[in-house]
Amino acid sequence: MRRVLRGLLLAWLALVAGAAAAHEMSIAEMELRETAPGEFLWQWTATARPVGTDLVPRWPAPCTADGNLLRCGDAGLKGRLAVDGVGKRYSAVIVKMFWRDGGSRVATLTAAQPEVQLFGSAEDRRGFAEIARAYVGLGVQHILTGTDHLMFVAGLLFLVGFNRRLVWTVTAFTVAHSLTLALSALGWLSLRPPPVEATIALSIVLVAAEALRREDTLSRRWPALVAFGFGLVHGLGFAGALRQFGLPENHLLTALVGFNVGVEIGQLLVIAAAWAVCRALAPWPGFARTRGPALYAMGSVAAWWACARIVKIVAA
């Protein structure tokens, strides 16, 4: 039985480490640049691996593509732009468009919203509901595919348990990351991503270590304080993702609030799923003994991430 558990633990470690790496490479970028009236050069840029046939653009009806040259005629780049395959190997596609008059626009496509309406210029005429729906979806997607953020939430669950203190702990985490997410997205606070990512990994190590301890530590007495402190850092991580997705200038507040709401929805879904699993497995006699191995596994993976991310900082 011990060999089986050890094998499962090693497989889980490999799976989580691989999932984290995949998450870092899940965004593809497309650039469209107008070179003449109604004509655009397009290309995939800043992708971690060749796109190949994983993503196939479907251009607006007036446009025809000849290799990397897109001809849209007098109508211009107007209509529905879609990308087939988004949500599979790539969780999102960021489309950056540049017009000859100096105008630009950024659109983000996901599995939940694989197409976007274009209006022939940099003007973004999308309504409140469309913007809100798009950014709520991006927020949910980011938290559910963000392995490090999910592991921190899981660590808080191990530290606090399913009781009243969990409400205050999760609330403190929410308030903290909402604060720094807003400050960073609005340009009032800025930190380089590598130190933020390293600190996020270290936060998982700390919470896992504190959950393993039996002493009445500060973290056990005041878990909301720990959640708030590290929530400030996680908010900067969320802001980094939001900057990648881009923010519409005419609906900045809507997009920001929508993304944050999406993060909270995803977080609550994870907590609800964890509660359901614990309730279902609680009658099993060996379930309580999995707590220690799970925390050691989380801490080990997070420590590996922290070392790798610190090395990147030093080597830069």
Three-state secondary structure of the chain: CHHHHHHHHHHHHHHHHHHHHHHHCCEEEEEEEEEECCEEEEEEECCCCCCCCCCEEECCCCCEEECCEEECHHHCCEEEEEEECCCCCCCEEEEEEECCCCCEEEEEEECCCCEEEEECCCCCCCCHHHHHHHHHHHHHHHHHHCHHHHHHHHHHHHHHCCCHHHHHHHHHHHHHHHHHHHHHHCCCCCCCHHHHHHHHHHHHHHHHHHHHCCCCCHHHHCHHHHHHHHHHHHHHHHHHHHHHHCCCHHHHHHHHHHHHHHHHHHHHHHHHHHHHHHHHHCCCCCHHHHHHHHHHHHHHHHHHHHHHHHHHHHHC
| Domain map (residue ranges) of the chain | 27-125, 134-315
Q: Is the pLDDT of residue 255 over 90?
A: no
Does 20 score more than 50 pLDDT? no
Residue 82 is predicted with a pLDDT of 93
Give the pLDDT score at 48.
56
**234 has a pLDDT exceeding 50:** yes
Mean pLDDT of 178-194: 87
Contact by Cβ (8 Å): 237, 196: yes
pLDDT at 265: 93
Going by pLDDT thresholds of 50, 70 and 90, the confidence category of residue 192 is confident
Q: Sheet holding 56-58: strands in order across?
A: 56-58, 78-84, 115-119
d(CA 26, CA 40): 26
Q: What is the side-by-side order of every strand in the sheet holding 64-66?
A: 64-66, 69-71, 39-45, 27-36, 92-98, 104-110
Q: Which position has the higher pLDDT, 147 or 17?
A: 147
Q: By C-alpha distance, which of 132, 236, 222, 223 is closest to 179?
A: 236
- Lowest mean pLDDT of 42-56, 145-159, 192-206, name the range: 42-56
In this predicted model, what pLDDT tens digit does every residue of 38-53 receive, in sequence order?
899 999 986 656 677 7
Predicted pLDDT at 49: 61
Own/partner contacts of 246-250, CB < 8 Å, gap of 24 or more, are 246/94, 246/106, 246/107, 246/108, 247/185, 248/106, 248/124, 248/126, 248/131, 249/124, 250/124
Structure tokens at 74: 């007098």
Lowest mean pLDDT among 21-35, 62-76, 173-187: 21-35
Residue 302 has pLDDT above 90, yes or no: yes
Q: How many CB atoms lie within 10 A of CB 99?
A: 17
- Rounded Cα distance between 290 and 236, Å, is 32
Mean pLDDT of the chain: 84
Tens-digit pLDDT profile for residues 212-221: 988 888 888 8
pLDDT at residue number 4:
43
**Residue 128 vs residue 231, higher pLDDT:** 231
How far apart are the C-alpha atoms of 123 and 169, rounded to whole Å? Answer: 42
pLDDT at 262 over 70: yes
pLDDT above 50 for 298: yes
Give the separation between CA 40 and CA 60, rounded to whole angstroms.
13
pLDDT at 21 over 80: no
Confidence band for 235, pLDDT divided at 50, 70 and 90: very high
pLDDT (average), residues 21-26: 47
pLDDT value at position 288?
A: 84
pLDDT at 219: 86
Percent of the chain exceeding pLDDT 70 equals 89
